[in-house]
């Protein structure tokens, strides 16, 4: 086991079988986390990048079994922010010290590429980096948004097991998801992706293949989160994803993609208090505090037990700053683009 961890540290390469072995072991979580933290410090340093998250619409055309925003969920209170509200929240995010804003929504096609491009242009005038997380669009739409100034795009694959993908994401196409990621790469976005840990029917081999896929596409950012069952979805009664396994996934991704930006996702804190600081000490270097204002935070109900829904953006910024200081790290003052060192 220790030889494999050393191999990952030195070569940033493991076989499928070696990754499966490390994921299966019960007594290696701390060793993996410590090794990943060393590689994190070496390749991306002690700075932590904050991305201000603006959840501008919870309307979605897709029907993923695990997601509270799914089309067939009739219990959720739907909303859309208008362009002035989005731009105003971005302006406040800049005043709080953020260098990047993340515009995130369900797959809400009310927002055309042209509408979103106008919003992106206004935000870019504030000297902010812009990340989009709006789902599947055409090459032409992605191109319009890139020309408007969008820097990054988050599109999680969720699972690279095609049969599992088809089951979890009815009506969607695994091939089209791959096409979207390839299009984003062609257009020179910084591309973020990731997976869910704990999907029913998911195997260790599937998770290991996810990691190899992230390497294969040379992902710039990888977000890993545990499944948190939502009572208003078909997966209401399944078990939550395992925190320890999620942590090991983060550590292995840092070891195998040493330059990548890896967030400590908010969902982890639903499973364990102080999870984000634990994950930041296990290879992660990004946090995405919510800068959405008012009751919209509660309405963006991906999963139950979401933390900080009653906090203001200012409280979130202050709280995260204190957590980062408590582990001897600091908030980065740059925009957090991937630095290629290998």
Q: Which residues are annotated as a binding site for (3R)-3-methyl-D-ornithine?
A: 133
N- to C-terminal Cα distance for the chain?
A: 25
d(CA 58, CA 56): 7
d(CA 19, CA 23): 6
In sequence order, which residues have a C-beta less than 8 Å from that of residue 242 and are 6 or more positions away? 197, 198, 226
Residue ranges of the binding site? 60, 64, 67, 133, 158, 177
Residue with tokens 């290629």: 340
Residue ranges of the binding site for [4Fe-4S] cluster? 60, 64, 67
Q: How many CA atoms lie within 13 A of 329 on its CB side?
A: 29
d(CA 160, CA 174): 8
Residue 108 near residue 80, CB atoms below 8 Å: yes
d(CA 130, CA 104): 11
Residue ranges of the binding site for S-adenosyl-L-methionine? 158, 177
């Amino acid at each position: 086991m220790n030889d494999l961890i050393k191999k990952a540290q030195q070569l940033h390469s493991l076989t499928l079988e070696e990754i499966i072995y490390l994921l299966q072991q019960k007594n290696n979580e701390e060793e993996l986390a410590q090794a990943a933290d060393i590689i994190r410090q070496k390749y991306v340093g002690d700075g932590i990048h904050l991305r201000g998250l603006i959840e501008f619409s919870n309307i979605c055309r897709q029907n993923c079994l695990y997601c509270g925003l799914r089309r067939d969920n009739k219990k959720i209170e739907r909303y859309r922010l208008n362009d002035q509200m989005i731009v105003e929240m971005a302006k406040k995010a800049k005043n709080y010290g953020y260098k990047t804003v993340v515009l995130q929504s369900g797959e809400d096609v009310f927002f055309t590429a042209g509408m979103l491009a106008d919003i992106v242009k206004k935000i870019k005038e504030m000297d902010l980096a812009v990340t989009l997380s709006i789902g599947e669009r055409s090459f032409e739409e992605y191109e319009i948004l890139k020309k408007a100034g969008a820097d990054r795009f988050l599109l999680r694959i969720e699972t690279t097991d095609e049969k599992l993908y088809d089951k979890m994401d009815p009506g969607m196409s695994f091939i089209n998801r791959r096409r979207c990621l390839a299009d984003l790469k062609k257009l020179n976005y910084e591309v973020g992706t990731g997976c869910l840990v704990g999907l029913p029917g998911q195997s260790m081999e599937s998770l290991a293949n996810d990691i190899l896929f992230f390497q294969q596409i040379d992902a710039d950012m990888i977000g890993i989160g545990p499944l948190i069952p939502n009572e208003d979805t078909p997966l209401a009664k399944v078990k939550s994803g395992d925190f320890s396994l999620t942590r090991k996934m983060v550590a292995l991704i840092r070891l195998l993609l040493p330059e990548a930006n890896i967030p400590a996702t908010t969902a982890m804190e639903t499973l364990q208090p102080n999870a984000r600081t634990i994950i930041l000490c296990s290879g992660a270097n990004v946090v995405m505090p919510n800068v959405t204002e008012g009751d919209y935070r509660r309405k963006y109900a991906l999963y139950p037990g979401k933390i900080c829904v009653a906090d203001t953006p200012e409280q979130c910024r202050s709280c995260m700053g204190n957590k980062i200081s408590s582990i001897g790290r600091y908030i980065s003052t740059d925009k957090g683009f991937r630095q290629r060192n290998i």
